[in-house]
């Protein structure tokens, strides 16, 4: 990979809008270099990004510690960065068609990162094995043209089971044999304190939505999420804000059907066998422009704890032989087409997760402290938005023929690399014109 002489112009142009979040000019330059490294470095760790940095000869070469301190320890606030980030990207979603905010979470795996903040060893239901990972909560806003991360943060793990097991084990020791009775009391109180401090995913998302609505940057957006995020406090708050929400429902959920409480899957089975005509064919244009045919049934039903909501039962196959998908919303006037289109925006969260893991090192950084982990994740959001704003033309290279005239992430990364390469060539040209030897230039760009 090419050495980074300075952050490319496309990165500096966007990062200039975040300048007042950071303290000193030197620290801001380090952050810009770090974001550039997140986009183009094959090694997304601090050491890997630092190894690509090249500085002018008239300045002392700073150490890796300088980058670490500026990015992860300096006095700028990660929360303030995301507030400014949402201000920067919000205009791209005003007057540009319908926008939807998707709430979701993913696992950031760190098999050797026992001491990284938020990492715990738990069962991974995706990989179906025990593994070490962080639970990363994300919020993504999307329209037909683009999508941007609104925030990414780690859910602090709960060790209540381990603490309770320890307390139960030590409680079996007779009091007269325990010299540290006060310590035992402190441990019991700490256990109850940790239980009160622990926040579920639904509670964290509620706090985030409250903050987002208080900022008022996305006044026309609706919300979409899966059944793992669905909670009564969250939906109640969204409704109080005058907005609509759409969620997936588990097939085991009970709704009131003809005066009886019945599971959704049993109702779907009854309709398929006795009234297949109830599923109407709908042609839906998805977010990427693709047109698909679905068969959907819709009805306003009473859902336990949520009251009357509009329920959708959606099939992909004309013979209704596939597994149905159940959706619920507070928008009583939505037709099946709009519900399916809204649900399609939920998959932008998956694209954001994939982008973060494959392109910007969501799982690569080995920083340990909570503040450092939070800053890394939120700089990932900034890097992802920068990449979508990189000016580039449709590539005529055979390498990108598969894109069929569309600009891909790979082409945008290539555009940034070309800027970095141009800065490198400019420096080399200047050095050769100054009479420097090839060995001198080589030692400067690639120290032994």
Contact 326, 248 (CB under 8 A): yes
Whether 347 and 289 have beta carbons less than 8 Å apart is answered as no
Cβ–Cβ under 8 Å, residues 157 and 376: no
Q: Please, are residues 264 and 249 in contact by the beta-carbon 8 Å criterion?
A: yes
**Torsion angle, alpha carbons of 268, 272, 278, 279, to 10:** 80
In this prediction, residue 172 carries a pLDDT of 61
Q: What is the pLDDT along the chain (448 residues), one digit of tens a residue?
A: 688 999 999 999 999 999 999 989 999 999 999 999 999 999 999 999 999 998 877 667 788 999 999 999 999 999 999 999 999 999 999 988 899 999 999 999 988 878 888 888 888 877 788 999 999 999 999 999 899 999 999 988 766 666 566 556 666 655 555 555 656 656 665 655 555 667 889 999 999 999 999 999 999 999 999 999 999 999 999 999 999 999 999 999 999 999 999 999 999 999 999 999 999 999 999 998 899 999 999 999 999 899 999 999 999 999 999 999 999 999 999 999 999 999 999 999 999 999 999 888 888 888 889 899 999 999 999 999 999 888 776 666 666 555 555 777 778 888 898 899 999 999 899 889 988 899 988 888 887 6
The DSSP bridge partners found for residue 135 are 107
How many Å apart are CA 53 and CA 41, to the nearest integer? 11
Residue 162 pLDDT: 62
Q: Report the SS3 class of residue 142.
A: strand
C-alpha–C-alpha distance, residues 284 and 292, integer Å: 5
Sort 278 into a burial class: Cβ within 10 Å, 0-12 / 13-18 / 19+. Answer: middle
67 alpha-carbon distance from chain centroid: 24
Report CA-CA distances (Å) from 128 to 122, 123, 124, 134, 344: 10, 7, 5, 16, 26
Backbone φ, ψ for residue 45 (5° rounding):
-80, 165
Dist CA 119 CA 131 (whole Å): 10
Structural domain boundaries in the chain? 9-76+390-445, 96-223+349-369, 244-345
Q: Rounded CA gap, 186 and 176, in Å? A: 18
**131, two tokens:** 């593994």
Asked whether 135 and 201 are in contact (CB, 8 A), the reply is: yes
Q: Residue 265 belongs to what H/E stretch?
A: helix 264-274
Tokens linked to 446: 């690639």
How many Å is the maximal CA-CA distance in the chain? 90
Radius of gyration of the chain (CA): 26
The CA distance from 296 to 219, in Å, is 30
Question: What pLDDT score was predicted for residue 169?
Answer: 67
A 10 A CB-CB count for 344 gives 19
**Element containing residue 415 per DSSP (H, E):** helix 409-433
Taking CA atoms, 348 is separated from 28, 84, 102, 142, in Å, by: 30, 22, 7, 7
User: Residue 29 and residue 43: Cα distance in Å, rounded?
Assistant: 20
How do strand 245-249 and strand 222-225 relate by DSSP bridges? parallel
Q: Which of 257, 271, 256 is nearest to 313 (CA)?
A: 271
CA distance 290 to 141: 20
- Is the C-alpha dihedral spanning 431, 432, 436, 438 positive or negative? positive
CB 151 within 8 A of CB 78: no
Residue 332 makes CB contacts below 8 A (sequence gap 6+) with 300, 308, 310
Answer whether 341's CB lies under 8 Å from 321's CB.
no
């Amino acid at each position: 990979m090419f050495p980074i002489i300075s952050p490319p112009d496309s990165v500096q142009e966007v990062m200039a809008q975040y300048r007042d979040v950071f303290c000193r000019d030197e620290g801001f330059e380090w952050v810009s270099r770090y974001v550039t490294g997140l986009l183009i470095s094959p090694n997304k760790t601090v050491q890997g990004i630092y190894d690509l940095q090249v500085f002018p000869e008239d300045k002392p070469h700073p150490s890796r510690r300088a980058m670490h301190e500026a990015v992860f320890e300096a006095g700028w606030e990660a929360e303030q960065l995301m507030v400014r980030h949402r201000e920067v990207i919000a205009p791209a979603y005003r007057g540009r068609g319908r926008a939807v905010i998707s709430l979701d979470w993913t696992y950031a795996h760190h098999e050797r990162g026992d001491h990284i903040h938020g990492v715990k060893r738990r069962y991974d239901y995706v990989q179906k094995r025990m593994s070490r990972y962080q639970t990363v909560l994300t919020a993504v806003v999307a329209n037909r043209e683009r999508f941007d991360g609104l925030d990414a943060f780690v859910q602090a793990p709960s060790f209540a089971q381990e603490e309770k097991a320890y307390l139960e084990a030590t409680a079996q020791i007779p009091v007269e044999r325990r010299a540290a009775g006060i310590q035992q009391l402190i441990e019991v109180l700490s256990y109850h304190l940790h239980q009160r401090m622990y926040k579920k995913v639904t509670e964290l998302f509620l706090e985030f939505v409250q903050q987002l609505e208080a900022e008022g940057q996305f006044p026309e957006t609706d919300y979409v999420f899966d059944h793992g995020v669905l909670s009564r406090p969250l939906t109640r708050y969204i409704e109080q804000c005058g907005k609509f929400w759409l969620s997936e429902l588990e097939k085991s959920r009970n709704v009131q059907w003809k005066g009886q409480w019945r599971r959704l899957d049993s109702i779907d089975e009854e309709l398929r066998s006795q009234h297949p005509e109830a599923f109407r064919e709908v042609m839906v244009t998805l977010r990427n422009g693709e047109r698909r045919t679905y068969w959907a049934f819709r009805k306003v039903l009473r859902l336990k704890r949520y009251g009357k909501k509009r329920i959708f039962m959606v099939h992909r196959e004309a013979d209704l032989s596939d597994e149905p998908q159940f959706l619920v919303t507070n928008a009583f006037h939505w037709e099946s087409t709009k519900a399916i289109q809204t649900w399609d925006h939920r998959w932008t969260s998956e694209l954001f997760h994939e982008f973060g893991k494959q392109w910007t090192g969501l799982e690569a950084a080995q920083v340990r402290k909570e503040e450092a982990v939070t800053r890394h994740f939120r700089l990932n959001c900034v890097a992802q938005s920068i990449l979508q704003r990189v000016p580039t033309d449709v590539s005529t290279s055979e390498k990108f023929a598969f894109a069929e005239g569309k600009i891909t992430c790979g082409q945008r990364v290539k555009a940034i690399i070309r800027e970095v390469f141009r800065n490198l060539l400019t420096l080399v040209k200047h050095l050769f014109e100054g009479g420097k030897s090839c060995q001198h230039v080589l030692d400067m760009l690639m120290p032994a």
